[in-house]
Amino acid sequence: MGRPTVVLDCAALAEADAGQLEAIALLCLALRRRGLALRLVNPGEGLLRLIEFAGLASALGVEVGGEAEQREDPRRVQEEDDVRDQAP
């Protein structure tokens, strides 16, 4: 059974900026500290590119990059795993 998850609908962030990304990252951190997970839904291409550029894809549990044939829908965001849960 996974951790309780907070879902953040990012549909309104069509023109995402660094301030919005910072708020999402801080929200993710605050939720992790409380044993919760963050799941982004409906992230636009701009937000996905910004997440990738900032190097936060892994921390936010976002799949970006790769060839289109090799990845799933770029708007699909998977629930992130806590790094402490992974074996070295």
pLDDT in tens, 55-82: 999 888 887 764 433 344 545 555 555 5
Would you tell me how many other CB atoms lie within 10 Å of the CB of residue 29? 12
| Half-sphere exposure in the Cβ direction for 3 (13 Å, CA) | 17
Let me know: does 6 contact 37? Beta carbons within 8 Å: yes
Is pTM beyond 0.95 here? no
Would you tell me how many other CB atoms lie within 10 Å of the CB of residue 23? 12
Confidence tier at 19 by pLDDT (50, 70, 90): very high
CA 8 from centre of chain: 10
* pLDDT at residue 29 in the model: 95
Q: At 76, which amino acid appears? A: R
Average pLDDT, the chain: 80
